[in-house]
Amino acid sequence: MTTNTEFINTIKLLLYKENPSLLEKVDFEDDNVFLDPLLFAYFNSKKENMFSKDMLTEIMQGYFIEKEPLILKESFNNKGIAYVPNLGYFDKQGNKVDDVYIINNTSIELLIHPVTHLKHIFKDFNENNIDESKIEISKAQSLKYENALTQALQYIKTSNKVHYDLIEQCCKKIVLFETDPKNTNSFSTINAHGIAFLNVYQEDYDEVFFVDDIAHQTGHIIMTTILFERKKYFLIDENQNIGTFTKNKSEYRSFYILFHALYTYYTTFLCLDACLENNCFDKRQIHEAKGRIGFYLLKCKTDLINFEEIINYHNGFNNVLSFEGIEIFQNIENKYFEVLKKHEEVTFFKYKNQPYNFTYSEFIKLNPLNND
């Protein structure tokens, strides 16, 4: 069962150690207070000395039971807008610029302005900070994709309510940003746990992309939540490079990252397949959704082979994963074979021109849409 309890208790303890008076000003029983991703961003930024201790009060003040005069010193972005969780966006005179934006018919917030607490979260593939000028986040851009994002969430909600509830439980906010994928892809990170960061760099992104990317990035958030106590699931060093165990010596990922990847294939199959089953998409979108499923089946197959080599290296599942870990893996593997059998036609698609991120404009060149 997925639960946020461990994360909530960790944040409460960190708050108590740093500024216990803040705990007296909020509803201690309101889990949403302690699951705000900006708290994770604040405490995980400690090693980089990004913020003073005053920033903690600025983050928490929107949750105070008895409202106090706003403190806005460190929260301003490079456009002079400060974001206060649970309150909204303010200018340097303290005037409200925008309210908190909750995506329609969900509990998930869309961050519509750059948030200074998150500027250190954007890393390139070498884990270096990406310059703010290379990351576009704006209200106009967010609202450009608002309808497709909202519709995609509703598609998931109506097609697989159980999984949608899990998404809402673990994902508190979404950031739509645009940057060259050479800088970074869509991502989620424990350093801002609870936020799905979606890179909307392709102009033709619609509901199909958002179902896919929401499923993928929230899958990471869900898996991070499940694996809070890693030793309950892994019997080997989960941080070890899997190139040690596989024939692919150029493999750079850890076993933990591989397990995450497999789980996100599972969540993506789950959501795309459910939306197809529920007739959410038009003809062109069906073509794209099936193209995406075929693309991920190939990637998942490669990682299942990697996983099998690791199991063989350690002489069996029981030497690698606990019972709980094996149960998660079996769900992933079963979904892979279920989707492969159900959508057998996707195995005939051609993908040799695809970049790392699925690109429908390239896909259709080798796999034309039949207009009959």
Q: Which of 162-166, 170-174, 200-204, 245-249 has the lowest mean pLDDT?
A: 245-249
Does pLDDT of 1 surpass 70? no
Which residue has 């996983």 as its token pair? 307
Q: What is the sign, positive or negative, of the torsion defined by CA atoms of 110, 114, 116, 122?
A: positive
Q: Is 366 helix (H, G, I), strand (E, B) or coil?
A: helix
Using pLDDT thresholds of 50, 70 and 90, give the confidence band for residue 357. Answer: very high
Distance of CA 278 to the CA centre of its chain: 24
Task: Provide φ and ψ at 254, rounded to 5°.
Answer: -85, 170
pLDDT at res. 372 = 62
pLDDT at res. 210 = 98
H helix runs in the chain, sequence order: 5-18, 31-34, 37-44, 54-60, 139-144, 146-159, 161-170, 207-226, 255-277, 283-313, 323-342, 360-366
Count CA within 13 A, CB hemisphere, residue 231.
0
pLDDT in tens, 31-83: 999 999 999 999 998 777 788 889 999 999 999 999 999 999 999 999 999 99
Which tokens is 215 given?
A: 């499923």
Does pLDDT of 111 surpass 70? yes
pLDDT in tens, 302-335: 999 999 999 999 999 999 999 999 999 999 999 9
Closest among 112, 210, 222 to 165, alpha carbons compared: 222
pLDDT at res. 50 = 80
